[in-house]
Amino acid sequence: IADYCQTQYAIGVASGSDALLLSLMGLGIGIGEEVILPPYTFFATAGSISRIGATPVFVDIDPDTYNIDPAQVEEKITSRTRAIIPVHLFGQCTDMDPLLAVAKKRTLYVIEDAAHAPGARLTNKMLGSIGDIGCFSFFSNKNLVTGEGGMVTTNNDEFAKKIMRM
């Protein structure tokens, strides 16, 4: 999967929900901090944020793609914001360039929730390889099904080691 996703690491986990949770924990995000995400997603995205004591901050979707609207992200960033979770839906890629630019400018992590878009590409890059971490689910209602399971992808040695330890 690492080769396919064009990442150095692909770490198998119990579920897509665990992929999100372990990614947030691996980045050290916790109590009192904020994570930006779209409201149009499975509850596990926001639930993982709440579970670690952080606050989900919702940014509306682009009505044409149903993905987070990058134009609305920066206005929601505060001094407590630590990450952005774009959710790629229906095999469609979120417009990542503006998100990555804002994340770099504001020193934020980008965790791609690609549970509903395995195999999708943005230009020449595979989803799950564009942000700091990619999260996948193989649950029975997803695009790529094994019945259960999840995957975390990254090119960052430190993040991979932390997630593997957890």
Q: Which residues are catalytic?
A: 142
How far is Cα 52 from Cα 66, in angstroms, rounded to an integer?
26
- Where does the chain show beta strands of DSSP type E? 9-13, 34-37, 55-58, 81-84, 109-113, 121-122, 125-126, 133-137, 150-154
Q: Are 61 and 39 spatial neighbours (Cβ–Cβ below 8 Å)? A: yes
DSSP category for residue 112:
E
Q: Which tokens go with 103?
A: 């994340």
Residue 115 φ/ψ, nearest 5 degrees: -60, -30
